[in-house]
Amino acid sequence: MAKAHYLIKVIHSGREKDYFDFWRRKLAKNAAGEPLSAELVGFDVSQLANNAEEAVTAVRRKHPNLQIDTQSTQLQE
């Protein structure tokens, strides 16, 4: 089976609440009034893997102290 590229969303440390407010609740600002953006709350990693679980595991090894949004994992075409 050929490997595929998966897009994994990684959350910046200390930005977990902001991440979910921005992506799930669609808020433009956090509780402190700071404007939120995709770059501020996290970043994407393109990972070559056999399946989504393997891709997430590989990214977790690369970024062990950061949280991963496993629900947002996408197969890249």
47-60 burial code (b ≥16 CB/10 A, e <16): bebeebeebbebbe
Residue 76: predicted pLDDT: 86
Confidence band of 72 (pLDDT split at 50, 70, 90)? very high
Give pLDDT tens digits for 43-71.
999 999 999 999 999 999 999 999 999 99
Task: Give dist(CA 56, CA 6) in Å, integer.
Answer: 9
The confidence score (pLDDT) of residue 57 equals 98
Element spanning 55, H or E: helix 52-62
Prediction pTM value: 0.90
